[in-house]
Structures are given as C-alpha cells and as structure tokens.
Amino acid sequence: MNLTGKKIAVLGCGRSGVAAARLALAKGAAEVCIFDSNPQATCADASLCFVPGAGEQAAQAFAPDLVVLSPGIEADIPWTQAFTCAGAPIIGEIELGYRYFTGRIIAITGTNGKTTTTALLEHILLQAGRTAKACGNYGYPLCELALLPEQPEFAVLEVSSFQMETIIDFRPEVAIWLNFAPDHMDRYTRVEDYFNAKLRVFENMSREQLAIVRVGEDLPGLTPRVVEFSSVSRDGQLYYKDGSIMEGDKPLTLLRGTTLEQAHNAENAMAATLACRAIGLSDETISAGLCSFCPPGHRCETVAEMDGVLWLNDSKSTNLHSTEAAVRSQTRPIILLAGGKDKGLDYTSINPMLAEKARCCIVFGQIAGQLVDTFSPVCRTIRVATVDEAVSAAAKEAQAGDVVLFSPGTSSFDQFTGYVQRGECFRAAVLKTLNL
C-alpha cells in the first residue's frame, strides 16, 4: 500500500485512531488528520492534526484520498460518508495495520470468549518462547504493532464484527470462530447482517489456511481447511469430558483445578490448542500454557466465598449468549443478577435453563422491566435499581450451597462507562456487604 503524498482522514480519536494516524505518517502520507464528531473529544497525541466536533462540512473541506475508521464507527452513516466526497475509499484500522504488519496473524472472533481466547493464545506463545502480542479489539491496535522497530512473530488478533465490516485484503493464517448468538441489535437491522460481518474473517483465506470452528456452527462455503471442537459432544477433533480435553479416547489436557475448567472456558482452551498446534507448538507446551493461565478479569471470576455462598463476577457478560454459558457451567443453585442497557435482545430463550438452575433472579438497570416480564413466569424475580441494591438483595436471598452469579447479559452503558467499571462496582459492593 503506497501512502506517499496522500491525504488521510482518520475517524475516531481513541487509541486505534491515534495508532492509525501515526502509521500513515510513518509510511509517507503527506497529510493526516484525525476527526471526531464529539466536540468534547481529546487526542492523546498533541503532535497530530486533530479536529473535534467535526461536521460534514469539515469532512468535505478536507477531501481525503483515504478514510480510515476506528472500530465502532459505522461506514454507512452520513457523517462518515461525507469524507468520501472526493471518491476516497474507506478501510478500517485493522486493514491499515494488516497492510504493514510483517508477522503471522491468528484471528479470533465469536460472540463470546474472544478476549479470553486471545489472552490465552498470547500467554501460551510467550510461555513457549515466541514473540506475540494480543491486539485488535483487546490489547494493542494492530497499527501499533506495525509501527514497532521489531515486530512480533505473531499478532493474536481479537476481531469484532465492526472491524470486519471494513476489511479488503485482510487474511489471517489461522482464524477461530468460537460461537455465534444475536448481539448488537442496536447496531444491526438484522441478525444476518451481524453474522455476515463476522463471517468476513474467512473471506480472503485459502485452502492453505486453517479455520477452527465450534461443532454445530453453520458456516457456509468456507474455503480454508476446517477443524472443530466441542464441549457437548464427541464430534470434534477435540472435545471436553470430565474435566479433560479429549482427542479420540485419549485425555490430552486435564483442566480440572485450573481457571479453564468450566465448559465455556474449556471451549476457549480447545480452540487455542488447535491454533497452537497449527503453528507448530507441541501438545506438552500447549498443556503447560493452559494450566498456568489466569484469565482477564470480570469473566466468572471468584470475588468471595463465605458461609457456603460463592460470589462470581461475570461483568464481561454483555449479551444473552454469555449469560447462558455462565449459567450452564454452574453446578450449584443460582441467584442470577442481570440487567443493564436495552440492546433490543429477546431473553426468553434462557427461561428453561433458569427454571432448572436458578432459585431467584435479581434484575436492575434500564432493561429491568423487560427482564421481570421475561423471567418471572419461570423463576422468582426481584427488581432493583442499581448493582449495589442487587448485591444487598442477593445477600438476603443466598443460602449455603448457592452461587450468586453476576452475569448481566447486556451492556453497561445505562449506568457505567463499561463492563470493567460495572464489575468493579459489583466487587466493591460484595466486599462491603460481606465486611471483607
């Protein structure tokens, strides 16, 4: 990609936008400017040209040769399209970084489990003495890696549907598809649009590349070679049984007692195993990395256990599918804490599982009313306003042998800046309630 002498508009002033602007300048662009529609936005790099509160008039006046989108900015909205007035093509930060990254790429997508799998792959590779960086939707922007004087051998790239909307040539060596469930219906008109955006991760792959897919996912017409894994059947090359990753009748890795022993994390472990095999690591090396791994926070992490009650923080659960996975993994009676922003999702599919496993549901946030209507026919449901109130209610309801599962099932933006702040609020409320 030749940027010499070109005018580049970068949309979005976050870390990805700054990295894209720096990379474009480093590769010879004549003029690079970051634009943000928010008049209160700030840019972390004062040396870069930056226009906060940019409107369509500013976009048309700049008339770039190329438009680079930060993740989450839609390509088809009028504000973005205004930058294409001179016929400029639109690409995403991932595509720009791909053009200049010289290492090997393992891409991970799916509705849930992406971040854990990305962090897990990075951990195994580093433990094996390889150079690797987690990047994309988690960790570094890919453009930052492309700027390094010594680029790592591997980019372990978490990719979202938003990022895949704007690829052109992007092609990973290995692509992992963990799962799919409806999500982001506040962004997409149809579930099919969300699915097709994620499916683009395989779009440019050839038969020489590898697709790693969970058994039961309906992915039509894949060109790369496919290997599968499963936590519910023996149909995949790897499957999960009695706390172990199995291959045929042979136990491959014992996960019992590790941070990955619950079924949804075992799926992440199997996907990572297959990816690491594909790039040449031994089973012994992979197993050692799996067993020493500590997942990122807010993913079914234990906050406390007191008086026989286990308190789990699964604030990263930002959609129904992740809550279903967390509920399915529990073997104790559940008090479920759920709620947050209304994303336009239908929660009725979880009712049979709640009827079987939950003693009580405590709901909060913008979506609380809908959750009361949905859950109360199958489970006693209590409505509160905040996470603090949900924790207080759970403490009154919990009995020895229960698990209090904070798995909101939707995003946090009605009351918080993100799932991390929400999870920290839950943790603090639990510790205060338990006097710990």
Write the pLDDT tens digit of every residue in 283-306. Answer: 999 999 999 998 877 888 889 999
Q: Please say if the pLDDT value at position 429 is more than 80.
A: yes
- Span 214-242, mean pLDDT? 94
Q: Which pLDDT belongs to residue 259?
A: 84
Cβ(92)–Cβ(165) under 8 Å?
Answer: yes
Q: Please say if the pLDDT value at position 152 is more than 90.
A: yes
Q: Give 395 or 186, the one with higher predicted confidence.
A: 395
In percent, the amount of the chain with pLDDT more than 70 equals 98
When pLDDT is cut at 50, 70 and 90, the band that residue 185 belongs to is low
Q: Which pLDDT belongs to residue 436?
A: 85
- Span 138-164, mean pLDDT? 94
Q: Who's near 149: CB < 8 A, 6+ residues apart?
A: none
Write the pLDDT tens digit of every residue in 313-339. Answer: 999 888 888 898 889 888 899 999 999
Cβ(163)–Cβ(269) under 8 Å?
Answer: no
The SS3 assignment for 250 reads: strand
Q: Who's near 193: CB < 8 A, 6+ residues apart?
A: none
Cβ(302)–Cβ(310) under 8 Å?
Answer: yes
Long-range contacts of 79-88 (CB under 8 A, 24+ apart): 79/37, 79/55, 80/11, 82/56, 83/9, 83/11, 83/35, 83/59, 85/59, 85/60, 88/9, 88/63, 88/64
Structure tokens at 76: 């088809």
pLDDT mean across residues, the chain: 93
Write the pLDDT tens digit of every residue in 58-114. Answer: 999 999 999 999 987 889 899 999 999 989 999 999 999 999 999 999 999 988 888
Phi and psi dihedrals of 301, rounded to 5?
A: -90, 145
When pLDDT is cut at 50, 70 and 90, the band that residue 205 belongs to is very high
3-state SS of 245-262?
Answer: EEECCEEEEECCCCCCCC
Q: Which pLDDT belongs to residue 5?
A: 94
Angle at which helices 114-127 and 283-291 pack, to 10 degrees? 120
The SS3 assignment for 273 reads: helix
Q: Which pLDDT belongs to residue 375?
A: 97
Instruction: Give the integer Cα–Cα distance in Å for 360 and 363.
Output: 10
In percent, the amount of the chain with pLDDT more than 90 equals 78
Phi and psi dihedrals of 8, rounded to 5?
A: -120, 125
- Closest CA relative to residue 320, chosen from 272, 298, 353, 357: 353
- Span 352-377, mean pLDDT? 96
Alpha helices in 211-319 (DSSP H): 263-278, 283-291
- Span 5-10, mean pLDDT? 97
- Span 366-373, mean pLDDT? 96
Cα 274 to its chain centre, rounded Å, is: 19
Q: Which pLDDT belongs to residue 151?
A: 97
Q: Which residues does residue 49 pair with via DSSP β-bridges, in sequence order? A: 33
Highest mean pLDDT among 142-146, 253-257, 342-346: 142-146
Question: In the chain, what are the domains?
Answer: 7-93 (3.40.50.720), 101-291 (3.40.1190.10), 301-433 (3.90.190.20)
When pLDDT is cut at 50, 70 and 90, the band that residue 278 belongs to is very high
Q: Which pLDDT belongs to residue 183?
A: 61
93-126 as b/e, with b when 16 or more CB fall inside 10 Å? Answer: bbbbbbbbbebbbbbbbbbbbbbbbbbbbbbbbb
- Closest CA relative to residue 231, chosen from 212, 246, 220: 246
Q: Please say if the pLDDT value at position 138 is more than 90.
A: no
Q: Which pLDDT belongs to residue 1?
A: 84
Q: Please say if the pLDDT value at position 182 is more than 80.
A: no
Structure tokens at 249: 């009748």
Q: Which residues does residue 247 pair with via DSSP β-bridges, in sequence order? A: 250
